[in-house]
Each structure stands twice: as structure tokens, then as C-alpha cells.
Structure 1
Amino acid sequence: MDYSSSRKQLHIAMFPWLAYGHIAPYLQVAKFLAQKNHHLYYVSTPKNISRLPQLPPTLCSNITFIPLSLPHVDGLPPGVESTSELPIHKVPYLKKSFDKLETQLTEFLERSPQIKLIIHDFAPHWLPPMANQLRINLVCFSIFNASTNAFFGPPSEILGGSRKSPEDFTVVPTWMDYPNNIAFKLHETVSHKECEDIVSDFERYATVLLNCKILTLRTCYEFEPEALRVLSKIHQKPIVPLGLLPPPLTSVDDKGDENWEALKKWLDSKQEKSVFYVALGSEVSLSQESMHELAFGIEKSGLPFIWVVRKPPLVEEQFAQDMIPPEFEERVSKQGM
């Protein structure tokens, strides 16, 4: 890749996996590159693109959103376009649908000969042959940090090396030759099988790793120098840390928002550093039993709290209400929100 001219504008496609924890960091990278006067083509589905924050006016001319319609597959509920809308056991259907985007993406790239670089995620194992035919270079951007990527190991190991059983992933691998305790817990390796497609995540990631020119990561040298060293050694290709990419701070306009006014007033009545905040993000869906255990633990602590409860995906409203123990809200009405 001849990128010697720093003044040359590059035309780059961005292609994240269909999860907001992937989509948002990819947009941050796109905005950074757009600030350097490169042109970005952000490829995703219409619903996911609509969830993204509005671009600053100064970047609108350098970022083009390319919506691809998510093909139907049996088992995927209508209108679903991201992992946050699905229980984990239905994610394989989303991966099947994602793989069917190959045709639309190929057609777009064939119409866009100016694109010479694709920054992509772990999932499109079918992308390398297409990119090779169109003479487009690939850059893999992993939203995971260097330690996680180092734990996975080289592609030969990911595709079926020494680790055969879930228990094998609960120990630190030999190639991580520095003091660390990085390993999965057994329940993590077992539960991940629920979201696996016929093409495993390991096979997907190993395939794109083998074929990318550069591996970029959500980390920095100050945070993970040893893990970055190991990655350079096992992959034998440029490893580029992009920083930690925290979410941008946004100003909150609370005028006219009664919910925020009530929350702010309640927080102001508490001592500094006395309130604990419980939120599991947009991807984690606990069982009713686990939600009840969490609720009882919060109640028993006696501490003031704010608990953000998300309706489980594909669950009817009346059943969603049962995720919280009966009369819990009444019992903790003076303790938290």
C-alpha cells in the first residue's frame, strides 16, 4: 500500500458487525479519518445507521452512509438489525443474514472504484476473496483490546490449535510470555456457544486476520505494551493501536425533561459518592432468576442506587414486568430509583 503522500485523500469503506458496541467505535474512527480529509463510506443497515449520533457539520461532506438492506432468513424476527434486539440464542440468525450482505456490498464496491481500503470487523469471513478480486486492501479493526487479541493467539491456533475444549480457554496460553492472569471463566466459554453460527466466530476472525494488511486495536502502548509486543510477534504484520476510544462527552439539555429534573433533584439530596449505579448495557439480558437475585442484593445493601432496567428483547410487556420481583419498587421507593 503506497500511502506515502500525506496530502492524498483516501476513499475508505467502514464495515462493522451489527452490534452497537462495534458500530459506535467504527463511527469514531470514521470521524477521526474524516478530520484528516479522507472520505469515508460507512456501510451498515438502515436501522443501525439511524441510531448513530448526528455528524458535526464540518464532517458531513467527508462521511457518506451506505445503507444495505438486511436479507431475510428463517428464524430472524422481522425488523431486527442488531444484537441488542435479540436474545443470545437467536444471534446466529443475525450472522446468517449478515453473511447475505455479501452481494449488496460487492455491488456497491464495484460501483465505487475509488475505494481502495476497507476497515472491517471480525465477522465477514467472505470479504477477503471479494476484496482481492477488486484489488482493495483490508484493515481489520478489533474493538477488543490487545490482551484479548493476544489471548486468542495466531490464526493457526484460532482455527484449531492446542485448545480443543472449553476448559482449555480457562488457562493463560504459553505464547503470552509475561506475567498476567488473562483467561476465560468456564461459564463464559460455554455460554458463548449459544451465539455461534455454522461458521464459528473463531473461524471468522482467523480468516480476516490472515488476509488483512494491518490489524488495528482499541488500545494504546501506555496501557498494554506487553500485549502489543506479543501481537506483533505472533501476527508478523503491523499492529496499530488507535487509543481507547471512550464515548464522546455530550452536553445534556435538561430543560423541560421532567424525568431528568426529578433524578437530578434526588441525586442532589444524597451525599457525595454515596449512590451506586447499576446498568448492564444494551447487549446483556439476564434471566428472571438472575434479575430477582440482583434486585434482592440491591435491596439488602441498603444503599441509595440508580438501576437502569432494559426490557429483554422479544419479550411481551406483561412478561417483561415480571423481571422485577413483586412489590420491589414499593419497598425501595425511598432507597433508590
Structure 2
Amino acid sequence: MEEQRKLHIVMVPWLAFGHMIPYLELAKCLAQMGHRVSFLSTPRNIDRLPSIPHDLRPRINLVKLTPPPVVGLPEDAQSTVDVPLDHINYLLELLDGLEGPLSSFLDGDSSPDWMIYDVFFYWAPRVAARYGIPTVFFGPFSAMTLSIMGPPSLMMDSQPTTPEQLLVPPPWVPFPTNVTYRYYEAVRIANGRSRRASGSGLTARHRTGITFQGCHVVAIRSCLEFEPEWIPLLGELYEKPVFPVGLLSPSIPEIDDMGHDTWVNQEWLDTQKHESTVYVAFGSELRFSKEQMHELAIGLELSELPFFWAYRGDPSLLPPGFEERTKARGIVRLGWAPQARLLAHTSIGCFLVHGGWGSSIEGLAFGKPLVMLPFIGDQGLITCVMKEKKVGVEVARNDRDGSFTREAVTESLKLMMGDEGGPIRSNAKELMKIFADKERHDQYIKDFADYLIEHRRRDGVPTPSA
């Protein structure tokens, strides 16, 4: 009887590590419960994933799907980290090339009980329907982000969006909120909504609407304790079950993928005063201009605060002499760094970050308040939420063009680390009780899995109802 409750789930994430990693975390959670997961992506992306714990490897099958080559896209460019932001259309075309390989995989394995797919997979619902597989859209987003986008029917509407429409909360949000785009963000979003992808001929927004509309169930990386208004609203907008699967908060690894100790610069961090140091990380996908990098780095320098910068950009963009001038009180760590371990260190007092959902979760899971400098996607919206929750501050920007100054960086850091930032730091520690509560988030996963078991495919016919 117990074996009959075990599932085989196919997972296909979007070609971005900010999506693939949460998908892999969800896969590990499901595998820990005894379910079998087939995790599908392109060969290079599969090769770059973190290693899976030995005890879970028998239940997680990493499957390489090879799409046809895309003209204009280098052969080894298979994720957003490999291409500039304005080349996203090439990746969408590469993604669409996975439809055939995915179908071939399903031809050879007719047993999946569910398919969990990501944003932009507008063709996934029809593929799953051919094989009688019920579907989940899992977006590693907040409920707020998806709610601001509106119902799927609106996303498929071809009516143009003006920047002015994005400067106020959308009319379908029934409660007070300050979550809106800034003008420079609104211009970029409005222009992007009209841009059609090669191959499919659809805008990214339209294909996203099809993706959402075609699923049976929606899962999000969130929890009711943090988004008590947004999660019910999302269910109303989508008119289908919405399951928060918890925050998938990070754990602290003891060893890295090669079996080595992941700890770096521990001795230096141990010499810093309690909660005195700024941890800086903007990931590997943001591409700063030289001017932006200089303003950020010099603003950090002028703050006179100790810092640890996990820097994954081009070293030549740093201001001349920056590392030499700041070496007495700061470290620039080039390349990968063990972020969870660093955030957990008692010397770290705040997190200077772009405000993305995943990074914000990581910071708050260790009780670190956020100093946010958003750039792309929903980072500006997440920043608004964190300011509403009073767990972060934002670096001031020019609303027309999005530029910022070194003085603005310095001011935000000093505010956060000074007396005025005390209540914000306290709020972040309080929120840690929710973000780091493993038992709470394990229960979200269990509730989600129980639903999947109860509504699994029966004799080739999807059973979930909206």
C-alpha cells in the first residue's frame, strides 16, 4: 500500500540557474519522501548542477535533452548565465527545441504521474496532454510577482501596455500595497511585452499566459506566513489550486561538490566584530556597466565598513586600486563562494544584494537585513515588498534612467549598519523564525505531495480539477 503512494514526477525547469536550483531543491525534498524524479534539462546545464546527496541519487534521474542548434547561439550557451539579457530570444528558441526530445523521453517512459514545468514552457501542457499526464506549473517566484502579472487571460491579450499603467498597483489587487514598478523599470517592462520571440512568434508574456492557463495546479516558492494576502489572490486570478511549497531555504553544506571543505576566509571573518561586516553578492547573471561597477565599489569603499564581496563579474570593471585601498578591511572573493556559510557567519551584519527572490530568501533565512539594488525582472517588486515588511532598505536611484551614485550606496549601508537601522535588523531576525523553520516548510512540501498522490494520473487520464 505504501509503495502505491510513491510517484514518478518529471521536472523541466527554465534555462536559468535561479530556476534550476530551486527545482533541484524541490526534487530533493520529494525524493526524501520516497518519490522518483526525472529532472530534465540540456546537457551543459545538467553537468553544472550541484551534486545530489548519495542517498537520494537512486531516486533522482538527471536526464540530458539535446535540442537542435540555434543560429546565433554558441553551442555551449544553454542558460541565461551564458548570454547577455538581450539574447533571451535565442534561449527561448533553444527551449522550444526541447519539445521533441521531451516527447522522445516520454515515449520511452510512460509511467510519469505528473509533469512539473516552468515559465515559458507554453508547449508543455499540450505535450503532457498527449501522454495523459497532469501538470503543475512551479515558478520559483513569490505569489506577489505572479499576482502583479495578472490572470493568464490578460497575459494573452495583445493590447499594448504603457509605462504609466505599471506605476500604480494593478486594479485586480484588492488590498493596499506600495508594490509597483519605478518609471525606468516600467519603460523596460512595457517595451519588452511587445517584443516577439523568433521561432514561436509569441511575446514572452503571451507564451507565459499559455503556460499558466494550461496547467492543472500552480506551485510557488512561498508560504502563507509571509504572503497571507497574495497567495489567496493568486488562486482567485488563476482559478485553480495554488500550493505554496515553502521557501526551500538553504542549508549549510559541510563539503563542496568535489568533497572539499567549502569554507573560505573563515579566519578573516572570525576577526571581524559581531554583525559588523557587509556581505555583497549580485550573482553571475547581472552584467554591470563600468560606470555602475565604479559607483557600487566606491560607494562600498566610502562607507568605511568591513565587507566580504563574492564577486563573479569581470575583475577589470573594478575601479583601479580598489582592492589595494580596501584590503585592510575588505575581501573581494573572485568566483564562486559558499553563500549560505557566509551569510550564517556571526560577523555578517547585512546583505547588499540585487533583491531577487532567491537571494532575499537566503539572506532572511539567516536573519540578515537587506540593502537592495535591483536591476532586472521582479527584483524591483521584491524590493518593494521587503521595504513594506521593514526588513530592508533600497539604494536611491534616478527614477527616470535608473542610475545611482556612490553616495547613495554609502548612505544606504551606513543607515542599515547604524542606529537608525536597528529596527530593520531586529525585524530581519524576527522574520528568520519563519524563513528558517524547516519543520514548517517540510509540512508545505508534504501537503503538496499528498495532493499529487491523491490526484495522480489514473489509467492515463489526469484527475485534478480546478
Same fold (TM over 0.5): yes
Alignment of 1:293-304 (within 5 A): 293-304=295-306
Alpha-carbon shift at residue 162 of structure 1 (Å): 7.3
Distance 1:177 1:161 in 2: 24
Compared with structure 1, are the counterparts of its residues 290 and 6 closer, same or farther at alpha carbon in structure 2 (3 Å cutoff)? same
Q: Which moved more, 1:157-166 or 1:299-308?
A: 157-166
SS of 2:26's equivalent in the other structure is helix
Confirm or deny: 8 A CA contact 2:220 2:245 kept in the other structure.
yes
* Alignment correspondent of 1:285: 287
Amino acid at match of 1:324: L
Q: Does 1:150 align with 2:147?
A: yes
1:26 is matched with which residue: 17, 23, 27?
23
1:221 is matched with which residue: 210, 221, 224?
224
Alpha-carbon shift at residue 204 of structure 1 (Å): 2.0
Amino acid at match of 2:237: I
Distance 1:18 1:248 in 2: 23
Which 5+ residue runs of structure 2 have no aligned equivalent? Answer: 332-466
Q: Does 1:330 align with 2:324?
A: yes
Distance 1:70 1:189 in 2: 34
Aligned length: 323
Kindly provide the CA deviation profile for residues 42-90 of structure 1, in whole angstroms up to 9, marking residues without a partner as x: 0011222222222222222211111012432122123111111221112
Alpha-carbon shift at residue 121 of structure 1 (Å): 0.2
Alignment of 1:44-193 (within 5 A): 44-160=41-157, 164-191=161-188
Confirm or deny: 8 A CA contact 1:96 1:197 kept in the other structure.
no
Compared with structure 1, are the counterparts of its residues 248 and 104 closer, same or farther at alpha carbon in structure 2 (3 Å cutoff)? same
Confirm or deny: 8 A CA contact 1:166 1:186 kept in the other structure.
yes
The alignment-based identity, stated in percent, is: 38
Distance 1:90 1:24 in 2: 22
Amino acid at match of 1:234: L
Distance 1:259 1:197 in 2: 45
SS of 2:92's equivalent in the other structure is helix
Q: Which moved more, 1:120-129 or 1:54-63?
A: 54-63
Distance 1:190 1:108 in 2: 41
Compared with structure 1, are the counterparts of its residues 66 and 244 closer, same or farther at alpha carbon in structure 2 (3 Å cutoff)? same
Alpha-carbon shift at residue 301 of structure 1 (Å): 1.1
Distance 2:246 2:260 in 1: 37
Amino acid at match of 2:215: C
Q: Which moved more, 1:109-118 or 1:162-171?
A: 162-171
Kindly provide the CA deviation profile for residues 279-308 of structure 1, in whole angstroms up to 9, marking residues without a partner as x: 101221111110011111111111111122
Which 5+ residue runs of structure 1 have no aligned equivalent? Answer: 312-319
SS of 1:322's equivalent in the other structure is helix
Q: Where in structure 1 do 4 or more consecutive aligned residues deviate above 3 Å?
A: 4-7, 189-197, 255-259
* Alignment correspondent of 1:271: 273
Confirm or deny: 8 A CA contact 1:131 1:138 kept in the other structure.
yes
Compared with structure 1, are the counterparts of its residues 132 and 72 closer, same or farther at alpha carbon in structure 2 (3 Å cutoff)? same
Q: Does 1:247 align with 2:250?
A: yes
Alpha-carbon shift at residue 127 of structure 1 (Å): 1.5
Distance 1:39 1:172 in 2: 41
Distance 1:6 1:205 in 2: 36
Alpha-carbon shift at residue 201 of structure 1 (Å): 2.5
Distance 2:138 2:47 in 1: 22
Confirm or deny: 8 A CA contact 2:254 2:262 kept in the other structure.
no
Confirm or deny: 8 A CA contact 1:138 1:214 kept in the other structure.
yes
Alpha-carbon shift at residue 322 of structure 1 (Å): 2.9
Distance 2:216 2:288 in 1: 39
Distance 2:3 2:163 in 1: 46
